[in-house]
Structure 1
Amino acid sequence: MPTTHPTVSFELFPPRRPELDETIWQRVLRMAEAGPDFFSVTYGASGSSRSASAELVRRVLAETAVPPIAHLTCVGATREELADHVRTLLDHGVRDFLALRGDPPAGQRDWAPPEGGLSRSSELVALIRDVETERLGAASPDGGREATSEPPSVVAQELGVSPADVVSVAVAAYPAGRSHTREAELAALREKQDAGADFAITQVFFDAEAYASLVTDARAVGVHIPILPGIIPLTDRGRLHRLSDLTGVPVPTTIDALLAVDDEAERLRRGIDATLALIDRVLAVGAPGLHLYTFNHDRPALDVLDHLRARGIRNPAIVDGAATRPVTHAARYDAARAASDARTH
């Protein structure tokens, strides 16, 4: 059934150092207990944190009630290596992916994929669909389908994707920045949709009009998939400028000046207020949900979620503060699969 609420989701980073594993996991648990609609788990530049990412996905799946989206990138692997990784994740119960081209290795400005590799995220979307069909008997972009009792992706259902695929595949979209012209971005987004993408998540932006204009332009060229705004809590001035250097999305002078205070509590308060104002504007122009880039900091993300809950935006699986989901997402998936099996017999 299509969702009736804007979704709220959080992006997580796998720990970069083993000694941080438990500290970061406790933050993840605090975010999970608040009941977001899903987590996405990053993959690291050039796939460098693949094993750490897979372990965090596995732990989210096994120990929380929140569906995890596993990031994948074309860079750093051959087609068969990527296919094997998708097979492994599917076998572990993962049903949601984010397909990215990925950043080239440092110093390789003229990057090219290895022999047998992939160069575009649309190719990765198609590969995931091929492995989905092979492993689960689910739909592929060419319309083929084998009989399957697999239930549809929880994430696809929560986003109102209709019909919801057994495996959901998300892709990136770019409202602003120097990496894409608007014309090239729209062509790439349509290509990813045609390859089998279910929804898109945007890169960071600071102006709701940038998001609104991207959605308007995308609809004009036949892109119909939901486009989730990706928003970073505006609480860390240094991080915002580092992101600006990476993405080419300038930090507005008003936000920069707002955060230029020495008192940490006051800076946090101002940053949260500015974040909530941006969120209110993107929801006003019709955003189907919000994807927060947490950088593994739970407090700003939870402050934003509290604001949204105060506005009545609530995950249907959370009623009056009590979780009605199964204890883990794995249990929730097993229950859905059992119900699907019963309907087909």
Structure 2
Amino acid sequence: MSHAGLSAGVLHPSLFAEPVRDANISFEFFPPKTPKMEETLWQSIKKLEPLDPAFVSVTYGAGGSTRERTHRTVKRIVEETSLVTAAHLTCVGASRDEVNDVIRQYKDDGVNHIVALRGDAPEGVDCYTPHPDGYVNAEDLVKGIRDIGDFEISVAAYPEKHPDSPTLAADLENLKRKVDAGATRAITQLFFEPDVYFRFLDHCQSYGIDVPIVPGVLPVTTGAMLRTFVANCGANVPAWLSEMFDGLDDRPETRKMVAAAIAAEQVRKLYAGGVRDFHFYTANRADLTFAICHMLGHRPPAGTPGE
């Protein structure tokens, strides 16, 4: 079935007629660098936990210190919350044996879901180069994870193609290889027009990619945040989105309200097109994500502390 006819368009009141109660949500966090950031993260986790997400994930970067922070954060979530936790893992800056040790450690800690990524080049390096003794790319990493254990494996998808890919076709071929290697789900990088996602679904179907393609949703609150994420994933920023934040540089609370409304509308339109799974990039801040879920009708049980 083709989805490309669902336009971003204007806000349709009919989309808000019923609460989105049968949707599955998941949240992404990143490991904190300072005690203050750790406090903020745990406040966010505790606020979002009652929303009963399908899982939460913790990002992972190159370098030993980042790996240790990720593992420490994942382990604490597993031990101190009821949340199903997924650990990100990349190929950057580590040998195959080092990465395999991390995979086995996660398995021992009770983590059964890994988000397998190639990873970005370290800061100051122009392009990604595999470790001489490491996994070559995400497809190779998925195979390695499969060899070690029966994990659920998510991989990244790029509705507007990865910045390093020469064409969308090459990117789709790469995603197909990751799925054939054993990935069970793909999570998209951010996008801002529902049509972009639905066209991408059509392309995936034509390539025989048959795993769930979960849309990644990012509530954007500042121009700097927008530029950073877009530079990393190649997403197109529509003119209407930039205009929505014009004149709000000194009005952070208004920016947050606008960001929440835009993201909630995006989810409603995706839901109207049949999407039932959504992955929220929280930036370790609960308020916006909680507000969006509230507007959609996805709320904690009555009587939950703080409600």
- Fold match, TM over 0.5? yes
Counterpart check, 1:280 vs 2:268: yes
Counterpart check, 1:74 vs 2:91: yes
CA distance in 2 between partners of 1:48 and 1:202 (Å)? 27
Deviations, residues 22-78 of structure 1 (Å, cap 9, x unaligned): 232122211113322211100024565111011111111111111111000011111
Query: Which residue among 10, 20, 23 is the counterpart of 1:6?
Result: 23
AA in 1 matched with 2:79? A
Moved more, 54-63 or 262-271: 262-271
CA drift at 1:225: 0.1
Q: Within 5 A, what are the aligned runs for 1:261-280?
A: 261=248, 262-280=250-268
- Percentage identity across paired residues of the two chains: 35
Moved more, 238-247 or 181-190: 238-247
CA distance in 2 between partners of 1:300 and 1:77 (Å)? 35
Equivalent pairs counted in the alignment come to 281
Residue ranges of structure 2 left out of the alignment (5+ in a row): 1-20
Residue ranges of structure 1 left out of the alignment (5+ in a row): 133-137, 139-166, 324-345
Q: Report the equivalent of 2:234.
A: 248
Q: Which has the higher contact order (CA 8 A, sep 6+)?
A: 2
Query: Which residue among 108, 122, 129 is the counterpart of 2:146?
Result: 129
* TM-score, normalised via structure 1 length: 0.76
CA drift at 1:85: 0.6
Q: Report the equivalent of 1:179.
A: 164
CA distance in 2 between partners of 1:207 and 1:47 (Å)? 37
Aligned with 1:49: secondary structure? helix
CA distance in 2 between partners of 1:254 and 1:188 (Å)? 32
Contact 1:11-1:295 within 8 A present in 2 as well? yes
CA distance in 2 between partners of 1:47 and 1:176 (Å)? 31
Q: Report the equivalent of 1:62.
A: 79
Q: What RMSD, in angstroms, separates the aligned Cα atoms of the two structures?
A: 2.1
CA distance in 2 between partners of 1:196 and 1:121 (Å)? 11
1:213/1:191 CA distance change after superposition, 3 Å? same
CA distance in 1 between partners of 2:237 and 2:230 (Å)? 6
CA drift at 1:128: 0.7
CA distance in 2 between partners of 1:194 and 1:305 (Å)? 33
CA drift at 1:21: 1.8
CA distance in 1 between partners of 2:64 and 2:173 (Å)? 25
AA in 2 matched with 1:176? E
1:19/1:235 CA distance change after superposition, 3 Å? closer
1:11/1:214 CA distance change after superposition, 3 Å? same
CA drift at 1:272: 1.2
* TM-score, normalised via structure 2 length: 0.85
CA distance in 1 between partners of 2:158 and 2:36 (Å)? 34
Aligned with 2:33: secondary structure? coil
Q: Report the equivalent of 2:4.
A: none
